[in-house]
Structure formats: C-alpha cells, structure tokens
C-alpha cells in the first residue's frame, strides 16, 4: 500500500461527470514484419500479461480512506482482469486518420471505473494499409507525462522481454482500522514537514521581491485569463484530432529563427488560436494564458506519480505578423521560466498535500457545473519529447505515437505535441461545444507553421511524412 501524493490526489478530486481526468496514448502499429502471424486482441492481452511485472501502475487499485480522513491509497498487486481492461474495436471504412480520431474521441468520452485499476487499452483494427492502433487510457492520478512515457517504453519492446508466465501474489484488502491508523500517522508526518514547506514558500517570495525582472501582468495576475470561446462549462463528450509534421522541418525552422522547439510549438499554437478566435469570437485582441506542464522529476525508471507543475505563458494571439509572434512567444516563455524558478517549481505540489479531500472534491464538483471561464487559464499546451528509436509491441513495429492530456474544468481544449523518431505528432482534445470539428484546430496549426516558414524565407510546402497516416 502507498498513499497518493497531494498532487496525485488533486487530479483525482478534480474529476466530475463532465471532467474526465484520464490521459491518452496512441500507438500506430505496422504488422508487415510479423511474417504472417496474427496479432489480435488475444495476442495483445498475452503481450501485456507478460509485461505486467514492469507495468506497476496497471496493478494499482484505488482505496478510499474512511470518512475521507486523508488522501486515498494505492493497493498494489491487485487482481487484473485483462479481458476487461483490454478491449477490441473496429474502425469504420475507410479506416483513415479521421476515422481513428473519431474512435479515440468516443473512447475518451467515458470515465474510468474507480472500482478497478484505473486504465483501459483498446486494440483498434480496420486501419488502412493493414495497420492497427493501440489506445492507452490511464488516469492522470496514476502518472504524469514523464511517468506515462516511461510506462509506454516498458510496454513496448524497448527493454528486455519478460516471462509471459510470471504471476503476482495479490495484496490482501486493507482493514478499515488499518487505513485510519495509517492516515493518522501520515498526518503527523505532514505536520512535521510543514515548516520546510513554509520555508520553501518564503524563499520563493523572497527571490521574487529581490528580482530585477519586471513580471508581466499575465504572470503576476494569473487568475484573470481573458474570456474566449475556449472557456465554458464542459460537455461530457470528447472529440479528438491529430496531425503530423516532419521533425526535421521543425528543427530546421527553430534553428533558423534562433528559438527552441518548445517556443516554435507555442508559436504555432498561437497562430492557430488566433485564427480560431477570429472565427468564433470575432476578435483576438489579448494574449491567452496557457499552462505549460513542466516536470521536476525526470527519473527514467519512474512509472507512476505526478511531479509537474503548470508554467503560465502569455500566448500572443493578438499579433498578426508570424515572425513577431514567434519573437514575442519566445520572450514570454523565457519570462515564464524565470518566474517559475523564482517562485519555486514545487510550490503548488508541496502545498497540495495539505488539501482536505472532502472540501476539495465538493469544490471541484461545484466548479464543473459553473458556465463561465476558467479563472486560472485558457488552455493547456504541452510539448513532450518522446522516444528517439522505434518501439515494437509483440514484435510489430510502432510507426507513430500520439499523446494528449485531459480537459480541465472550464477549459474546452488541450493541445499536446509528442515527438517520435522523425515525427512531431500533434494531438487536440476538445469537448463537443468548443469547435465544430477538432480538425479545424490541427489544420490551423499546420497552416500557422507554414506561415512561419514562409515569413522566415523557407518553403511553406510542408513535407509529407511517409511513415505516418495521411493527414485528415
């Protein structure tokens, strides 16, 4: 048994009927190398069964504490019914990117069953060119981006193969009194740590006061994001869209402009959001406030837990000129990083430990029913470096990987970019009320990238990534 950290618990408490806090990982798999062997849902279950020994979070079961006296705990090594957790799916014809995206939207639209380990996987058949897709759906309380990336690497043949017959003894169910006593002892430990947390906070405040950097209003007042079509009470339905860029072209563009790939990703998002704001709101006259996840634990062996915080970046959607937009995005990102480190990257994570469960759950549930803008941010935008070498599942080649985080209360869009070998793969998640078609967003991102390249004197005709699905 182990207790959820404060930040893990917050991601659990923030879930509501219209706010699903699971993340998605999508792997496209080529079957041509199997030499005629079949690879269906039963074969996939066998592969995962043989890897359960190193997929620790797949064996965790959530245990609530009586009277919500403390954060829940994970019961480790519980029974795992792979017939339940691993499910077949078949795409509609013609089985292209759009049909796959629609299926993933359906998968994302339902919450995970908390009485079971908090994950599901779908083996999707019917893709064009004889490919299949594997969609992993895992609760954010289990793993952040770094942990889930490491988990994916363990699930693929990037590490030594397991013994498929290996079994695990099931941990006994904890007794009620045991849970209460453990919670009481842990509360005492937390009280002992409180002076250290307060010192960490005061040190951050002292660094901010002494800093000679002028912080922008967007960063010093993060609870005033501008109203936009993005921000409203969420619907339970989710819609999904993807697109692929050649990583070499992205690197070429970032090097030519003297900015980071993350700066360029944010600039592409800014251009796309400007297009959408003009389309849906009729104006784009104020920077949007994006939360960019930043990890503070990059342990390659970590496969669970959440060690990240949201860095607030003012995204200059009001700027029409593509190169000026890149410049301002770069400056905003630099300022955000400096502010983030001044305050202390672990500040929110450390204080979340002391959040009382029952009031927190009630607050998040109430907020999920309010029809208005998110008071903290407009949307999350993530850029995650993925594997640099091809993975395999059951001997079959993984040709593409996509990833996306959840929609948070009052924010109807999540943009996540995940690099894989020679690809930069873009994923967009929305609810049913934000845009008419989520592919509007991916198309706008591709167009924004093309406009940046043209303005920089590079070719605006984007390379076709032969290893990826055709664009929707």
What are the residue numbers of the active site? 140
3-class SS of residue 329? helix
Name the DSSP class of 52: G
Residues whose CB is less than 8 angstroms from the CB of residue 431 and which lie 6 or more positions away in sequence, other chains included? 18, 234, 235, 236, 237, 238, 239, 407, 412
Sign of the dihedral through C-alpha 94, 96, 102, 104: positive
Name the DSSP class of 244: E
Nearest to 276 by CA among 141, 468, 437, 454: 437
**Distance of alpha carbon 241 from alpha carbon 450, whole angstroms:** 19
Give the tokens for residue 270.
């800014």
Q: What spatial distance separates the first Cα and last Cα of the chain, rounded to whole Å?
A: 45
Q: Residue 267 — φ and ψ, nearest 5°?
A: -65, -40
Give the tokens for residue 253.
């563009």
For the chain, state the CA radius of gyration. Answer: 22
């Amino acid at each position: 048994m182990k207790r959820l950290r404060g930040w893990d618990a917050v991601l659990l408490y923030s879930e509501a009927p219209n706010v699903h806090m699971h993340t998605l990982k999508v792997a496209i798999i080529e079957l041509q190398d199997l030499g005629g062997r079949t690879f269906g849902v039963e074969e996939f279950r066998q592969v995962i069964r043989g890897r359960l020994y190193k997929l620790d979070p797949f064996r965790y079961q959530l245990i609530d504490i009586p009277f919500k006296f403390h954060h829940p705990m994970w019961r480790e090594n519980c029974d795992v019914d792979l017939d339940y957790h691993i499910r077949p799916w078949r795409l509609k014809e013609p089985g292209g990117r759009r049909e796959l995206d629609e299926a993933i939207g359906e998968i994302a639209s339902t919450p995970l069953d908390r009485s079971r380990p908090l994950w599901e996987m779908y083996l999707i058949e019917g893709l064009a060119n004889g490919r299949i897709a594997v969609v992993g759906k895992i609760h954010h309380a289990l793993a952040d981006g770094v942990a889930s990336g490491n988990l994916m690497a363990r699930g693929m043949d990037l590490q030594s193969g397991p013994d498929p017959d290996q079994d695990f003894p099931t941990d006994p169910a904890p007794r009620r009194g045991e849970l209460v006593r453990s919670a009481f002892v842990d509360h005492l430990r937390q009280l002992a740590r409180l002076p250290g947390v307060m010192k960490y906070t005061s040190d951050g405040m002292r660094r901010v006061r002494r800093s000679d950097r002028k912080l922008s209003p967007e960063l010093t007042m993060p609870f005033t994001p501008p109203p936009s079509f993005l921000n409203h009470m969420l619907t339970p339905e989710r819609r999904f869209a993807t697109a692929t860029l050649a990583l070499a072209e992205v690197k070429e563009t970032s090097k030519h402009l003297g900015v980071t790939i993350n700066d360029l990703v944010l600039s592409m998002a800014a251009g796309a959001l400007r297009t959408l704001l003009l389309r849906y709101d009729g104006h784009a006259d104020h920077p949007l406030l994006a939360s960019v996840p930043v990890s503070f634990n990059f342990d390659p062996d970590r496969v669970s837990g959440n060690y990240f915080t949201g860095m607030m970046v003012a995204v200059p959607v009001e700027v029409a000129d593509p190169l000026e937009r890149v410049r301002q995005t770069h400056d905003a990102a630099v300022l955000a990083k400096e502010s983030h480190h001044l305050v202390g990257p672990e500040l929110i994570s450390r204080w979340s430990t002391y959040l009382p469960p029952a009031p927190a759950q009630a607050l998040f549930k109430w907020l999920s029913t309010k029809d208005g803008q998110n008071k903290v941010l407009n949307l999350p935008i993530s850029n995650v470096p993925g594997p640099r070498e091809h993975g395999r599942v059951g001997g079959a080649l993984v040709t593409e990987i996509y990833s996306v985080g959840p929609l948070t209360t009052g924010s109807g869009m999540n943009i996540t970019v995940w690099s894989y070998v020679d690809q930069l793969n873009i994923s967009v998640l929305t609810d049913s009320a934000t845009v008419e078609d989520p592919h509007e967003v991916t198309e706008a991102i591709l167009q924004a990238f093309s406009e940046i390249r043209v303005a920089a004197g590079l070719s605006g005709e984007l390379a076709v990534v032969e290893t990826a699905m055709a664009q929707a």
